[in-house]
Structure 1
């Protein structure tokens, strides 16, 4: 009787399975993203009876996200993507539980501490995009990243619409209404962690390393490809796009409120903005793989510039024009995130990939915090149009850096082909 050895899964088979698991976990974790943004400030205001520190939960959430990005990156580097992502989501569960406890106990100190821990969920959700690219072929990495990103949209859109039902459910349990969305967040992050813990097998990062050091069927190891750009450029693209996006997005509802628009109008504008941040991902991933990440990064800068100019010049009474400006802002962010992720994934060797990616995401989180904190100061000192135009100038500043990198890459290719 002969036995047939079980062959390890091919790279394509493993990649398809990994993407399915990541999509499922992203849909679940997307449900948990909205609570901190939607009701965190309201919960702080309700506890303190003042708006003075109402913005602190958002800042603490960002700080927690930055710390988590480092931690998840280091754990993933040592043990693989699965342990790192699971740990991050479980920290998000702990933070959600702490927020609920703070609401029950009416403890602002506990609330602020818990919001810091709760930021782990959003950081982990963003880190998952890297896992989608570990096993992807060089010409399909941006597409894999975009597949993971677009899955977040499904949960992210459903989450805010469940705020009222979860609040009512919380009241039945004797929990303050505003803490209800955190019940959903905790459950969503817990389910996402369970899906990854059980199903993210093989681990994409560990399998990618294995295939480089021990190629299947005696094949020669594939040389590390030279991607366009560098870690610095990829990080710079994502940092600038994050700063510009957060700065303009944060102050647009305030700008609209100051000119007589209600929460329904501003809510619609922000909803369209969020949809534009994620829904185009499948298309932008394909464009990046086909035309290269540098061209896509340049398109990101131009799109952000167009959004900023439109936001600055649109009449404050025109909701459609402001909505278009915010939609372009979301699209520019998407182009920057997908192209920047592709650049650094190509540039970083597998031996240090997860750790470096975690550090890059720290920079992204800090850029978002900077954009959010400074946007109000700029508007107070100069006005919303000036904030938008300043943001556009920052985005425009990416173009010469991208052009210089593209020129250097072109010269390097010509030099290599000449030697051959």
Structure 2
């Protein structure tokens, strides 16, 4: 066993200090990761609309970088499982940075194939931004777990809220150096993702997942009661946690993706769109200040129910909001973000609780693949639905998907509180 790891295996005080330091490193990286994430959310659909000349494929960028995030989630999970969280997470963020640079080049060259490929690679940052939350749980005990997830996610707020509100500023920067205006936010994304990867590569030492695996191996050896990993993982808990995250993701991505297009069609400018999306992204992460505590205190199941109710309210409000009203659109998108937050943190806690520590990184990565793919489907279908019907119809569909989840949660709720 590595000597830098061994001291944490036998010393609880040292382990808690490492747990807190790990959280701070993750928090710092997530501030930059959030800024990188915001670019694709805010202007991805607008770039596609501009380059393709149609609304029907406006959801394609969201789908592409979400498909890319699915592949990256698997890659990051496998690298983390085999080597370390540090290597997996740093690689994912650097892929996101490379993809952002590719998007900038594609807009300069008006090269649609390059745009599509770059958006896929850019998705690596999206996946990593989400997977970083698991690093905070590696050394957390059961009563700290949801709070640790929240602390990792809330730090994303600072960059994620700043990103959309810097759309106009970064557009001006892009203009000043001869780059298309809409590519401006991707300049920010390239730098932010690159810095996030660098922070993790340099500072996430010793690696929390390697320490956690060493602790479990030592405990099993000491107790002479090692169990088969496949039996130790609670598959019912994995399914419940995954379902809550998947539904939260697909409803959020579908409605969020088409909101900039919906607003643009009704006379809202880029600054207004950036404000609404910035508040939405803030609502996705800022409630984490209290969500994790609530999940740990009142239960995973109760917060999953709260997530579904909030997503239903968001879908209905988005559908009926007057198209010229910034207030109602902003409120609907804020509720959409809060519902996602409740669902993602309660689902992640359920998932992490259910997985045996020795296979945690691998299964977490695989589940995030399904979460990403569901989001990609939501993003891709959202443009088709709006083009064929309306934004209101899309929003009602999102509310119905959330409503349908009630039955599944009630069916699976036994044993999860």
Q: Is the 8 A contact 1:166 1:181 kept in 2?
A: yes
Distance in 2 between the 1:46 and 1:301 partners? 35
| 2:3 aligned residue | none
Compute the displacement of 1:69 (Å). Answer: 0.6
User: Per the alignment, do residues 321 and 233 of structure 1 end up closer, same or farther by CA in structure 2, a change over 3 Å counting?
Assistant: same
User: Per the alignment, do residues 110 and 254 of structure 1 end up closer, same or farther by CA in structure 2, a change over 3 Å counting?
Assistant: closer
| 1:344 aligned residue | 351
The secondary structure found in structure 2 opposite 1:397 is helix
Distance in 1 between the 2:107 and 2:265 partners? 31
Which of 185, 207, 212 is the aligned partner of 1:208?
Answer: 212
Q: Is the 8 A contact 1:40 1:58 kept in 2?
A: yes
Larger Rg, first or second structure (1 or 2): 1
| 1:69 aligned residue | 73
Compute the displacement of 1:161 (Å). Answer: 3.3
| TM-score (normalised: structure 1) | 0.86
Which of 69, 79, 82 is the aligned partner of 2:83?
Answer: 79
Compute the displacement of 1:304 (Å). Answer: 1.3
Which of 177, 183, 190 is the aligned partner of 1:179?
Answer: 183
Distance in 1 between the 2:334 and 2:402 partners? 16
| 1:326 aligned residue | 333
Does 1:196 find its partner at 2:200? Answer: yes
| TM-score (normalised: structure 2) | 0.86
Does 1:402 find its partner at 2:406? Answer: no
| 1:358 aligned residue | 365
Which of 128, 133, 136 is the aligned partner of 2:137?
Answer: 133
Distance in 2 between the 1:387 and 1:36 partners? 20
- Which stretch of structure 1 is more off in the superposition, 14-23 or 225-234? 225-234
- Which stretch of structure 1 is more off in the superposition, 323-332 or 36-45? 36-45
Which of 155, 159, 178 is the aligned partner of 1:155?
Answer: 159
The secondary structure found in structure 2 opposite 1:351 is helix
User: Per the alignment, do residues 276 and 208 of structure 1 end up closer, same or farther by CA in structure 2, a change over 3 Å counting?
Assistant: same
Q: Is the 8 A contact 2:150 2:289 kept in 1?
A: yes
Compute the displacement of 1:34 (Å). Answer: 2.2
Distance in 2 between the 1:255 and 1:165 partners? 22
What do residues 161-212 of structure 1 show as CA deviations (whole Å, max 9, x unaligned)? Answer: 3334444444555544443433322222221111111110121111111111
Q: Is the 8 A contact 1:211 1:221 kept in 2?
A: no
What do residues 277-331 of structure 1 show as CA deviations (whole Å, max 9, x unaligned)? Answer: 1110120100000111111101111111222233334444544233222222111
Q: How many residues align?
A: 404
Compute the displacement of 1:104 (Å). Answer: 4.3
Compute the displacement of 1:394 (Å). Answer: 1.6
The secondary structure found in structure 2 opposite 1:407 is coil
Distance in 1 between the 2:25 and 2:148 partners? 13
User: Per the alignment, do residues 141 and 46 of structure 1 end up closer, same or farther by CA in structure 2, a change over 3 Å counting?
Assistant: same
Q: Is the 8 A contact 2:107 2:180 kept in 1?
A: yes
Distance in 2 between the 1:253 and 1:39 partners? 8
- Which stretch of structure 1 is more off in the superposition, 366-375 or 136-145? 366-375
The secondary structure found in structure 2 opposite 1:75 is helix
Compute the displacement of 1:387 (Å). Answer: 2.9
Does 1:271 find its partner at 2:278? Answer: yes
Runs (5+) with no aligned partner, structure 2: 1-5
Q: Which has the higher contact order (CA 8 A, sep 6+)?
A: 2
Which of 274, 277, 290 is the aligned partner of 1:283?
Answer: 290
Compute the displacement of 1:113 (Å). Answer: 1.6
Compute the displacement of 1:334 (Å). Answer: 0.4
| 2:400 aligned residue | 393
User: Per the alignment, do residues 264 and 97 of structure 1 end up closer, same or farther by CA in structure 2, a change over 3 Å counting?
Assistant: closer
Q: Is the 8 A contact 1:214 1:221 kept in 2?
A: no
What do residues 137-178 of structure 1 show as CA deviations (whole Å, max 9, x unaligned)? Answer: 101111100111111110112223333444444455554444
What do residues 237-256 of structure 1 show as CA deviations (whole Å, max 9, x unaligned)? Answer: 01111111122223344445
| 1:377 aligned residue | 384
Compute the displacement of 1:45 (Å). Answer: 5.3
Runs (5+) with no aligned partner, structure 1: 1-5, 411-420
Which of 337, 342, 356 is the aligned partner of 1:335?
Answer: 342
| 2:307 aligned residue | 300
Q: Is the 8 A contact 2:101 2:186 kept in 1?
A: yes
User: Per the alignment, do residues 379 and 105 of structure 1 end up closer, same or farther by CA in structure 2, a change over 3 Å counting?
Assistant: closer
What do residues 57-76 of structure 1 show as CA deviations (whole Å, max 9, x unaligned)? Answer: 33321221111011111111
| 1:237 aligned residue | 244
